[in-house]
A and B are shown apart, each in its own frame.
Chain A
Amino acid sequence: MNGFLMSTDRRPMLLMTPALLWLFGLMVVPCLLILVLAFFRRGIYGGIEYTWTFENIALVFDPLYFQIFMKSAGIAGLSAAIACVLGYAAAYAIAAMPRRHQPLLLFFAVLPFWSNYLVRTYAWIVLLNREGLIVNLARWIGYEGELPSMLYTEQAVVIGLVYNYLPFVILSCYAPLSRLSPEIAEASRDLGGSAWTTFRRVTLPMTVPGIATGFVFVFVLSIGNFVTPALLGGGQFQMIGNLVYAQFLTANDWPFGAALSMVLIAVMLGLLMGQAVVAERASGGKRAPDG
Chain B
Amino acid sequence: MNDATDTASRPGREANSERGKALANVIFNAVLAALFVGLFVQAGDLPSSMWEPLGAGSFPRLILGALIIFNLAIVFQSAMALRQTDQATSEGAGRWFAQRRLAFATLTAFCVYALLMPWIGFALASLLFLLAVQIILGARRGRRLLIACLVAAVFGLGLYALFSHVFLISLPPGRLW
Physical interaction between A and B? no
Chain B contact residues, CB within 8 Å of chain A = none
Chain A contact residues, CB within 8 Å of chain B = none
